[in-house]
């Protein structure tokens, strides 16, 4: 039996709004940033991984409970953490 692939949630950030912003920030690692994301309804999600323009993981969650178009602020923190947590 082969390995079973499990799709992970990912949300593509609108490039017209966030690509230039991210390019101007130091990467946390090769091609990715970590930071805090604020969405339109005021919720703030900490320890968010943005990889290649996609929101790929939020520490402590298995989902991404908002749409990328709802992101109103990204604060790059550069915090490193164990992605398996």
Band (80; pLDDT cuts 50, 70, 90): confident
pLDDT, residue 8, reads 74
Helix (H) or strand (E) holding 38: strand 32-39
pTM of the model: 0.86
Provide CB contacts within 8 A for 57, sequence distance 6+.
Answer: 8, 48, 49, 83
Which region holds residue 79: left if phi is over 0, alpha if psi is between -120 and 50, else beta? Answer: beta
* C-alpha 30 chain-centroid distance: 14
pLDDT, residue 48, reads 96
Condensed to tens digits (0 to 9), the pLDDT of residues 12-61 reads: 999 888 999 999 999 999 999 999 999 999 999 999 999 999 999 999 99
């Amino acid at each position: 039996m082969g390995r079973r692939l499990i799709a992970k949630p990912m949300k593509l950030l609108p490039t017209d709004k966030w690509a230039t912003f991210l390019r101007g920030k130091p990467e946390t690692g090769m091609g990715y940033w970590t930071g805090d994301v604020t969405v339109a309804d005021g919720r703030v999600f900490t320890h968010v991984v943005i990889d290649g323009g996609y929101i790929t993981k939020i520490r402590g969650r298995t989902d991404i409970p908002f749409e990328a178009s709802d992101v109103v602020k990204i604060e790059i923190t550069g915090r490193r953490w164990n992605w398996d947590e």
